[in-house]
Amino acid sequence: MGDEGGRLYFLDWLRVLAVFGVFVFHTLRPFDDADWHVKNAQTSEGIAIAIAFLGLWGLAFFFMLSGAGAWLALRWRTAGGFLRERVLRLLVPFVVAYVLLSPPQYFIEEHHKGRSDASFFGDVQTFFSDLSGHAPLWLRDTYHLWFLIYLMQFALLGLPVFLWLRGAQGRRMVDWIARRCERRGRILLLAAPLVPVHLVLLAAPGPEHGWGEFVFFFDFFVVGCLVMSDDRLMAAVRRDVVPALVLGLGAFLLGVATGIIDFLDGWWEEPGYSWVYVWYSTLITFAVWGWLSGVLALGMRAPAFQRPLPTPLARAAMPFFIVHQPIILAVAYYVVGWDANLWTKYAVLLPTAFVLAAGLAWVLSVLPGVSVLFGVKRQAQVSIGSTERRKTP
């Protein structure tokens, strides 16, 4: 799963695929039946189901990979060094992107929805007049940058957990879990301890980025760290790819068949306890872990993912994430107004936004000084899968 130096190249490839998945997710949002920053008049039930499918596990996969990367970073960094690296890779790009890219998104949304007829600079002044927002985002109108806010807080909250796992008591617990996961299918039971947490704390992925969603994604951030902490757990994930995908697909289809999408549409508005909520929350937790485990296993197995990621691609991943949504909104603002059917508009939006975002990301990734402001690692630190030879305890 890596070279002789112990690099886990598949994590780098999966990270890039996750970023691309977020891009595709956002290109679909103008055409689903939920509210978003720019909306097409015609929407699609099929796209709404695709959004529900991607939203249930795709975002959690992004955070699980981040947890895995955090564990590997701590293999060769002190706690202080880890936090400094997180500040440079997350907080600095967030501040830069929030100041530069959130106002244009605000301008596009306000004009598209008819809430403003001010000039661009007038809307920028309005945007900065009041930045206060609700926890756990803390700021107003963060748009897609909520990912970075979550990741920075996850790093702070997860650090004591990671350090404990590295200690004697933590290693004994990991060893206990790993020995029980040596039997086929047992790795899928890692979702079981998450179920009561999600039930009690009303944790589920949703559109508002509140505390419930925060807890849900943080749990899988920690699971990513846990899986990376022992070779036997990684081997169990790799082995159980088929059961994992069967669990993920089966639980999702069972949820769709029993009306999970309609339930969540109403539950997100007024979260509360009920037997129906217990059923769906349990189903979601196992479905998400099934997909996460299965896709991670496919990454471990794919021969193409055992080679280093091309340096330009690795360096452009974070800038691409940062710039992709403003570009999608800018293109969609014009495309949704066309007299054309939905799929014609999408056929224009997807490639146009990708070419523009990829081109801009590449430029930002190679400009001296500027690249650091957009989260690009130094050349020697490009791989999130870097670690020394890992040993089984």
Residues 6 or more apart in contact with residue 210 via CB below 8 angstroms? 134, 136
Contact 228, 71 (CB under 8 A): yes
Q: What does the alpha-carbon distance between residue 2 and residue 308 come to, in Å, rounded to a whole number?
A: 9
Return mean pLDDT, the chain: 90
Q: What does the alpha-carbon distance between residue 10 and residue 75 come to, in Å, rounded to a whole number?
A: 18
pLDDT tens figures, 262-310: 787 778 778 888 888 999 999 999 999 999 999 999 999 999 999 999 9
Nearest to 91 by CA among 11, 155, 14: 155
Q: What's the pLDDT band for 379 if we cut at 50, 70, 90?
A: low
Residues 6 or more apart in contact with residue 191 via CB below 8 angstroms? 285, 286, 288, 289, 290
* The predicted structure's pLDDT at residue 6: 58
pLDDT of 28 above 50:
yes
* Sign of the dihedral through C-alpha 231, 233, 236, 238: negative
Burial of 64 (C-beta count, 10 Å sphere; 0-12/13-18/19+): buried
Burial of 256 (C-beta count, 10 Å sphere; 0-12/13-18/19+): middle
Contact 105, 325 (CB under 8 A): yes
pLDDT of 56 above 80:
no
pLDDT of 191 above 90:
yes
- Average pLDDT score over residue span 2-20: 80
Q: What does the alpha-carbon distance between residue 90 and residue 63 come to, in Å, rounded to a whole number?
A: 13
pLDDT of 13 above 50:
yes
pLDDT of 381 above 70:
no
pLDDT of 389 above 60:
no
Burial 177-202 (b: 16+ CB within 10 A, else e): bbeebeeeebbbebbeebbeebbeeb
Instruction: Mark residue 387 as left, alpha or beta (left: phi above 0; alpha: psi -120 to 50; beta: remaining).
Output: beta
Residues 6 or more apart in contact with residue 121 via CB below 8 angstroms? none
Site of tokens 């926890």: 135
What is the percent of the chain where pLDDT is above 90?
Answer: 75
Kindly report which listed range (6-15, 224-233, 286-295, 351-360) carries the lowest average pLDDT score. Answer: 6-15
* The predicted structure's pLDDT at residue 209: 86
pTM, whole model, 2 decimals?
0.90
Contact 264, 206 (CB under 8 A): yes
